[in-house]
Chain A
Amino acid sequence: MARIVIADDDADIRELVVFKLRHGGHDVVPVGDGAAAVEACTAEKPDLVILDVMMPGMSGLDAARALRQDSAMDGLPIIMLTARAQESDIEQGFEAGADDYIVKPFSPRELASRVSAVLARSR
């Protein structure tokens, strides 16, 4: 039972994640871009944030960096959603401060397991 922020500009993906995680008993806050994600994190103090890498305005990577720079967000676990599984993109994600990543197209089951694992680790 955790509070999770999901940021993705694709409505279908957002709804999918919301559905799956709510089904798992979590409280989910969906937003559509990086800036809104940072705002939501500051306002809601979630237990986990999921960021899509490619978003308009502030990208997921920039949002991750912004969150890591904010000391109030220390220890906040970040999962990145990325459309490519190339080494350099994964590298960039971890450099920006992500704790884990999921490749799109994605499997809702895999998402749920990773979310549980990351939440367990951070407790």
Chain B
Amino acid sequence: MTVVATSGFLGVSWILLIVFSVLAAVCLVSLVVTRAARDVWAVRSEHRRELVRRSIFDLVMGDEDEAAAARRDLESTQGRHRQRVQDQILTMLPKLRGDSRDVLVTLLLARGAERRAVALTRSRSAVRRCRGAFQLGVLGLTEHLPVVVRLLGDPAFLVRRVAVRALGNMGDPRAVRPLLLLGEHDHRLTRDLVYALDRLGAAAAPELRTVLAERLAAGEHLHLDPAAVVLGLIGDRDAIDVLATGLESENPSLAQACAEALGRISAPESIPPLVAALLDLRPNVRAAAAHALGSIGSSVAADSLADVVEEEEPQVSRQAAEALLRLTAGRALLEASGSAYAREALALDAVRGGRR
């Protein structure tokens, strides 16, 4: 038994040894080739980018002759280089506004960028679908909104994420509801949703308010944070009522987001619900409410904040003390308080000369 076993084993071992050695050699060769090639390629690629960048600038900001020459240069690119030029222009687009942007968009569209982008969204490869969505977003082609919205349901996470951002870049408020719907199923996209909705800006506010109100009324409180956060970023005063309702939500994350949003909007009408929120059972909500009252800056809330400072609850009392510093009646109350947080806030304020 052992003789057979060992010779079989020996054979297997030989095979393994050869396999590993070959693989190791392959890795080694790949490493050498990759490293050498990359360094060279990096230098050349940077040089090329610089040339293209020059052309783009000439086209967008140069005088007539320079612009015409640059246009000819950019339009005459072929093959792989053409793809790279298009990609470089596309990266530049989100940073520009106005005439400059329009010139570049026209250039790209004239060379069939729209058709290509739509075709990419139907590709089998997830990376290509991402490219397509990104391009449609950055080119601002709102007539293709449904195409990108469809990609919100894509099986690949990366595609969904890129689609969310693309809808933000595209600028069409019809995207708001599908975006919020996605947020309820896909928890990991909070940051991207906030980016997109924020990019949509004030135009998105009515729909955000509506959806938030609907959901709260239906008793569904999960994953609505992006809506609350963005209403605050936009500074939408009409949203105060719905945010005040959200402040009482059983979902602590949403209640906190609503408090923060009310703070950003900074309207005196928010004071009563925020003062009520100072008595919420959850410390994160109390802390956010205290901070918000500080942002609003009205001394009406001073007494309630002073009570919170006395509580000596770590994060909450600290926020309340800092908030009191921003109210005219606040300083006197802090000085009268025996709380460690009051002492801390006053001392920091003295050192910082009133800043922050």
Contact = CB atoms under 8 A, between A and B. Distances in A.
Interface of A: 10, 12-13, 15-16, 19-20, 23, 84, 86-88, 104-110
A15 B57 contact: yes
B60 interface: yes
Contacts of A19: 57, 61
11 contacts: A12-B53, A15-B53, A20-B57, A20-B61, A23-B61, A84-B233, A86-B235, A105-B95, A107-B96, A109-B98, A110-B97
Interface string B207-247: 00000000000000000000000000101000000000000
A12 B94 CA distance: 11
Nearest to B266: A88
Given A16-B57, A19-B57, A107 B62 contact: no
A50 B61 CA distance: 19
Contacts of A88: 264, 266
B174 interface: no
B45 interface: no
B61 A107 contact: no
Nearest to B355: A65
Q: Size band of the B side of the interface?
A: 10 to 19
A104 B95 contact: yes
Contacts of B100: 107-109
A71 B60 CA distance: 39
A13 B61 contact: no
Given A84-B233, A107-B99, A108-B100, 16 more contacts: A12-B53, A12-B92, A13-B95, A15-B53, A16-B95, A19-B61, A20-B57, A87-B235, A88-B264, A88-B266, A104-B95, A105-B101, A107-B96, A107-B100, A107-B101, A109-B99
Interface in B129-148: none
Given A86-B235, A105-B101, A12 B95 contact: yes
Nearest to B95: A105
Contacts of B96: 16, 105-108
Interface of B is mostly: helix
Interface in B55-107: 57, 60-62, 91-92, 94-101
Interface of A is mostly: helix
B62 A23 contact: yes
A13 B92 CA distance: 9
Contacts of A13: 95
A19 B96 CA distance: 14
Contacts of A106: 95-97
Nearest to A65: B355
A105 to B, nearest CB: 4
Contacts of A109: 98-100
A15, A16, A20, A88 interface centre (most CB from chain B within 10 Å): A16
A3 B44 CA distance: 33
Given A16-B57, A19-B61, A86 B95 contact: no
Interface string B260-304: 000010100000000000000000000000000000000000000
A69 to B, nearest CB: 11
Contacts of B61: 16, 19-20, 23, 108
A96 B92 CA distance: 30
A107 B101 CA distance: 8
Nearest to B63: A23
Contacts of B94: 105
Interface string B310-340: 0000000000000000000000000000000
A87 B264 CA distance: 10
Nearest to A85: B201
Q: Which 3 A-B pairs have the closest CB atoms?
A: A107-B98, A105-B97, A19-B57
B118 to A, nearest CB: 24
Contacts of B235: 86-87
Contacts of B99: 107, 109
B60 A108 contact: yes
A110 B98 CA distance: 9
Contacts of A15: 53, 57
A19 B60 CA distance: 11
Contacts of A23: 61-62
A19 B66 CA distance: 13
A23 B62 CA distance: 8
Contacts of A107: 96-101
